[in-house]
């Protein structure tokens, strides 16, 4: 490794055993060649106290896990950072905090360029009293304020969307900010109709064309709106409504019964990537009328499969969906219903599916890697 090339250390808090890895991709693309010249090490926290309390101590286990995250890992990160400084000689080290929720780790590596990826500030804004459908407890408010203060220690903050960048620019003073759209974390793609049908055969209840929602029961996901929108189409279309992800809550099932559509709902609990890819491929449309979003992963996942998208104009969704989606104000449920019915026409679905595929090309991992490599160089120059 040339001493002029930066070392990059990525810190994350995913629940997995600690491991370190070098990145040595095949030299078949520009991103691969540039990345191959940058030594990269992934550092994740150990699961010690959290493992001990996870099964038998109930809520106390969460607090024990905080010892791993907020006590042990900062010490481990600092030791590894100091060791890397010695190993890298005169090369610059960039610490990349892969999630803004880990911004407090910047205190452990003071004096080195720090890049922090900010996915959204919905929880921070909610903790400060803004309307984001992200209420916070007293301890949650304290944590979000700590995260906000810690973000100011970053050299550069990379934001998934322009909407998130605007929030960061409004709330954080000091660091430079860049908009870096994320790439798909799974290679979703169009597959043959026969392949999709074979994968979906395991869902016995799925018998008719369907509209799809992917997500959870969080209020900001607006599953109540999804039910009401679908109900408005029920008398003019014999399709089904598929919820992929978290099982519906009791309240949502009661609403479905009141709307007389319970018999047309199919729940697919936490589908794997292959099954989800098949759902995207066969759906009439992804219906995604979220009230608040940080990015909107299902939008680009669906588009990568050629699935038309009907989504709200909330937050970053218009910029993410681009020209490959039908957009509505979140409260325009009659309009959403008309768009669903519009896409039951095979010609319309094919037209919007092509536009969806074209938009999805903006979200490639190669482009994201190149963006981050440029940002690492910017961070080094800033120090």
Q: What is the DSSP string of 56-111?
A: TSTTHHHHHHHHIIIIIHHHHHHHHHHHHHHHTTTS-EEEEESSGGGGGGGGGGTT
Q: What is 7-183+365-382's CATH number?
A: 3.40.50
**What are the tokens at 8?**
């990059």
H or E segment to which residue 269 belongs: strand 265-269
d(CA 356, CA 303): 5
Domain ranges within the chain, ordered by starting residue: 7-183+365-382, 193-360
For domain 193-360, which architecture applies?
3-Layer(aba) Sandwich (3.40)
Residue with tokens 């900062």: 74
Dihedral sign for Cα atoms in the order 307, 309, 315, 318? positive
- Residue 34 is given by DSSP the state H
- Residue 6 is given by DSSP the state P
CB atoms closer than 10 angstroms to residue 255: 18
Q: Starting at the edge strand that comes first in sequence, how are the strands of the sheet with 285-288 ordered?
A: 265-269, 240-245, 210-215, 285-288, 309-312, 325-328
C-beta of residue 305 within 8 angstroms of C-beta of residue 189: yes
At 140, phi and psi to the nearest 5? Answer: -65, -40
Same topology for domains 7-183+365-382 and 193-360, yes or no? yes
What is the pLDDT, as a whole number, of residue 40? 82
What is the pLDDT, as a whole number, of residue 87? 85
CB atoms closer than 10 angstroms to residue 367: 17
b/e burial code for range 86-96 (CB count within 10 A of at least 16 → b)? eebeebbbbbb
Residue with tokens 């209840």: 205
What is the pLDDT, as a whole number, of residue 370? 94
d(CA 110, CA 99): 18
C-beta of residue 106 within 8 angstroms of C-beta of residue 81: no
Q: pLDDT (tens digit, 0 to 9) for every residue of the chain, 383 residues total?
A: 233 344 555 654 332 222 222 222 223 344 554 555 677 888 887 787 766 555 555 567 677 778 888 889 999 999 999 988 888 877 888 999 999 999 999 999 998 999 999 999 999 999 999 999 999 999 999 999 999 999 999 999 999 999 999 999 999 999 999 999 999 989 999 999 999 999 999 999 999 999 999 999 999 999 999 999 999 999 999 999 999 999 999 999 999 999 999 999 999 999 999 999 999 999 999 999 999 999 999 999 999 999 999 999 999 999 999 999 999 999 999 999 999 999 999 999 999 999 999 999 999 999 999 999 999 999 999 87
């Amino acid at each position: 490794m040339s001493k002029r090339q930066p070392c990059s250390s990525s810190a994350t808090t995913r629940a997995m055993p600690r491991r370190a890895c070098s990145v040595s991709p095949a030299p078949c693309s520009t991103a691969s060649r540039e990345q191959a010249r940058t030594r990269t090490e992934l550092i994740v926290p150990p699961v010690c106290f959290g493992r001990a309390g996870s099964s038998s101590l109930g809520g106390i286990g969460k607090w024990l896990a905080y010892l791993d995250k907020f006590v042990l890992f900062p010490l481990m990160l600092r030791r590894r950072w100091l060791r890397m400084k010695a190993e890298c000689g005169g090369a610059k080290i960039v610490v990349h905090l892969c999630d803004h929720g880990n911004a407090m780790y910047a205190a452990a590596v003071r004096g080195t360029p720090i890049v922090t990826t900010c996915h959204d500030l919905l929880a921070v804004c909610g903790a400060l009293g803004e309307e984001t459908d992200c209420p916070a407890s007293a301890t949650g408010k304290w944590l979000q304020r700590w995260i906000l203060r810690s973000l100011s220690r970053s050299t550069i903050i990379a934001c998934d969307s322009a909407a998130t960048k605007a929030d960061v620019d409004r709330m954080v003073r000091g660091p430079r900010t860049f908009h870096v759209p994320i790439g798909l974390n799974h290679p979703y793609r169009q597959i043959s109709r026969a392949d999709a049908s074979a994968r979906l055969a395991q869902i016995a209840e799925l018998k008719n064309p369907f509209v799809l929602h992917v997500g959870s029961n969080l209020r900001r996901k607006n599953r109540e709106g999804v039910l009401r929108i679908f109900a408005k189409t029920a008398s003019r279309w014999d399709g089904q409504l598929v919820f992929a992800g978290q099982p519906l809550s009791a309240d949502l099932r009661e609403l479905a019964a009141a709307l007389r559509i319970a018999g047309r709902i199919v729940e697919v609990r936490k589908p794997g990537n292959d099954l989800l890819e098949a759902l995207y491929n066969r759906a009439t449309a992804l219906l995604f009328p979220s009230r608040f979003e940080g990015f909107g992963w299902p939008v680009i996942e669906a588009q990568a499969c050629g699935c038309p998208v009907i989504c709200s104009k909330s937050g970053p969704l218009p910029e993410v969906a681009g020209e490959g989606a039908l957009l509505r104000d979140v409260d325009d449920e009659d309009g959403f219903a008309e768009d669903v019915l519009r896409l039951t026409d095979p010609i319309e679905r094919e037209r919007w599916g092509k536009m969806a595929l074209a938009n999805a090309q903006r979200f490639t991992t190669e482009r994201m890697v190149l963006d981050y490599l440029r940002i690492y160089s910017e961070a080094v120059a800033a120090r």
